[in-house]
Structure 1
């Protein structure tokens, strides 16, 4: 009997879990997805949704919307909305294609018990014209009360039409669309009249179009360098707009050797200085995370100082003196060897001298080389002839 109740309890729990699981699956996904272009930049995506018959009373349904990014980038969450439509800017160059894909799913928000997300559904929005890369190096710089934009056409034979407005989805923003009336004669630049810095650009041609956000740059900062004892003081002139939004980056070489890139939060920085080195600087400005993204190109190279050859006296001494000493030693050895008889004469054997003394002076002894021997004097014998008359006188004595 006990086992019967246990089996009954187990089957009841299983059935309840199955019922709850089925109820969770009853949340239906959106259907009948469609889109409509409001202008060249903005699209409106709408859908329908049918409520399940057993949805709890008071359950609030919201729709989770996401926008798929270019390949390899995580989808961007657009938010949750109770409405059955969204409005968004679809810029083809950001997607690297002529379409934008949106993902929409249904979720229970309040008083929905165990109801969960529905299966997400996708809708792909295609641009009115194929996406074509028409220009390269599109850049804009502030110029007085206007913005000057320039580019390099990919195909010089194409006639380009430029349309622009502030980026956004509101009706007032969409009504602010303007056409470039001041296109350069060469077709590679235009002055834009706008007060903002977040600008959407449409480039149109007979073969296709391209929509993108214009990157507003800044002129390269002017760098001033002053020497202060053993340091160099670097000072930049900050841009006129948003003086608290800028950080300064600079690269430099010292004696031709690249140094690590440095970043300064203010327009002043000091670095150590070596008077024997040439310093070469390049710098740029860019905005902080709290401001709209803007940055300048790297400036031209600014030089300071000069490379001074190091004092080579110790090196010369270390090389020349050993060479001179070696030459002197070699020459000394050469002359010593050549005149060794003078510096090192042959010393006679003393035993030969003493032997001659012991044997007597009468014996003819060989002359010992190197010992002084006097030369025998020649003795001439004189014969005196006495006259006969004197011989008698001599006999008397």
Structure 2
């Protein structure tokens, strides 16, 4: 019978044996990773062959540290990629690399951090407008930007990391600038898949060019109770699906935006005849082709703010009728109560003339009887005769 201590020792030995066995079957990871910038866009990452690789098909996988980035596979001990500061938002990238094989557990992932050959240059609002001729190809693009505290030179080439694309770096022509923006004219065979470098002695900025066109002219009409929207487009977009973003306001409400995908046919949107519409639009190529886009064009106005079509006749009939009834009732009430509202006032001159001719005899008190004093009591006096003919005065 085994004791608890022996049982614990047996389990520990089994775990160690399993760990050694698993480590023996797991592939060794790459070690000693290094990188080299081929030019301002392309970097090559390489490493020596890991020790202890088993016989058989061994490959390597790599991806950016971001879990959502795609996983790439290579049979070689190196890979090349285009790294753009405009995509990363910085001048630093971290890659994960690991070893994979058949019927063998893949190795742990090792990482390497790649730093840009120069600090990131300060540049804002890069715009490259396509200048079109009568054909469907672009002659050149007018690129402009808002620089930082240093002047920048623009160069470009086709994006990629093949030998052919790397040697094709070209300089922008006819530079210009003012206090707000700097720019130049870029001549290329196409308008897509172009990588641009803006560089000074102190820093650089790299990005993939997004070609722009002038905003298409918006035309508005009515059809079947809806607004009919159509645009005038350059030939370069004539045979591709495009997405029109339309933002509009009506009757003072908040702005509403809506997308329409067309191949040249007009678009329709509901129309309220009682509202004045303010519309602006822009265009973007569909998701299946390289990006070409425009900014929003100037606002276009259509219609007027007014009562709805059914309400206007009702108001035109009912309002005069109500006004007529009010006037009739006012006249009736005034005539019926005219003696109160407008009493007859006698002429003062007539009253004065009658007073002079007739005196006060015809005047009768109108305020009641006159005041009559109450008679006071009077005592009678009696005179008695006195003998001798003397008169005796009366005493009170």
- State the TM-score, normalizing by the size of structure 2: 0.69
Q: Which residue does 1:313 correspond to in 2?
A: 315
State the distance in 2 between where 1:34 and 1:118 align. 19
1:275–1:75 CA distance, 2 compared to 1 (3 A):
closer
- 2:118 aligns with one of 119, 129, 132: 129
Q: Which residue does 1:140 correspond to in 2?
A: 128
- 1:264 aligns with one of 261, 265, 269: 261
CA deviation after TM superposition for structure 1 residue 24, in Å:
3.0
- 2:189 aligns with one of 175, 191, 195: 195
CA distances 1:277-328 after superposition (whole Å, capped 9, x unpaired): 322211111121211122211111111222235649379849977x959x96
Is the Cα contact below 8 Å between 1:245 and 1:287 reproduced in 2?
yes
Secondary structure class of the residue paired with 2:176: coil
Unmatched segments (≥5 aa) in structure 2: 1-6, 133-138, 342-396
Unmatched segments (≥5 aa) in structure 1: 1-6, 340-397
State the distance in 1 between where 2:171 and 2:185 align. 10
Q: Which residue does 2:215 correspond to in 1?
A: 220
State the distance in 2 between where 1:184 and 1:68 align. 40
2:283 equivalent to 1:282? no
Is the Cα contact below 8 Å between 1:248 and 1:266 reproduced in 2?
no
Q: Which residue does 2:49 correspond to in 1?
A: 49
Q: Which residue does 1:350 correspond to in 2?
A: none
CA distances 1:185-204 after superposition (whole Å, capped 9, x unpaired): 43611111112312211111
State the distance in 2 between where 1:309 and 1:13 align. 89
CA deviation after TM superposition for structure 1 residue 84, in Å:
0.4
Is the Cα contact below 8 Å between 1:92 and 1:100 reproduced in 2?
no
Secondary structure class of the residue paired with 1:225: strand
Q: Which residue does 1:395 correspond to in 2?
A: none
CA distances 1:56-103 after superposition (whole Å, capped 9, x unpaired): x43x1111101235xxxx452241111000101111232222222211
What does residue range 332-347 of structure 1 map to in structure 2 within 5 Å? none
State the distance in 1 between where 2:65 and 2:124 align. 25
2:176 equivalent to 1:174? no
Secondary structure class of the residue paired with 2:212: coil
Is the Cα contact below 8 Å between 1:230 and 1:273 reproduced in 2?
yes
Q: Which residue does 2:390 correspond to in 1?
A: none
Secondary structure class of the residue paired with 1:211: strand
Aligned residues: 316
Is the Cα contact below 8 Å between 1:161 and 1:205 reproduced in 2?
yes
- 2:240 aligns with one of 244, 247, 251: 244
- 2:300 aligns with one of 299, 302, 305: 302
Q: Which residue does 2:23 correspond to in 1?
A: 22
State the distance in 2 between where 1:124 and 1:256 align. 54
What is the RMSD of the two structures over their aligned residues, measured on CA atoms?
Answer: 3.5
